[in-house]
Amino acid sequence: MIGIAALAAGILLGLVFHPAVPEAIQPYLPIAVVAALDSVFGGMRAYLERIFDSKVFVVSFVFNVFVAALIVYVGDQLGVGTQLSTAIIVVLGIRIFGNAAALRRRLFGA
């Protein structure tokens, strides 16, 4: 419940204050958001399967965001950042939809 309240507060603060994202971070922000969403959906799935561990969730969350940003950074240095960004979005998107399908099956039996 605390997590949902914190998420709602964060969204509300973002809508009210319109924070500016530094230009140097802008290429990495979408990747970080998708990596974070992957961790959140994985955590929700683990919770419903009764195997959720908060320590694993936090480490997974931070590690996913860090590795995704690192891959994009290395890709930028090699001149293929856009292609690697697309690849990361596709892979994480597949994982998110897989977790969403598992959540749907668990919640609705369909």
How long, in residues, is the chain?
110
pTM summary value: 0.82
How confident is the model over 13-52, as pLDDT tens digits?
Answer: 999 999 998 998 888 888 988 998 999 899 999 999 999 9
14: in domain: no
Nearest of 57, 87, 95, 93 to residue 71 by alpha carbon: 87
Tally of domains within the chain = 1
3: in domain: no
Q: Give the range of the structural domain holding residue 64, as residue numbers without chain letter.
A: 23-108
Token digits of residue 62:
């931070």
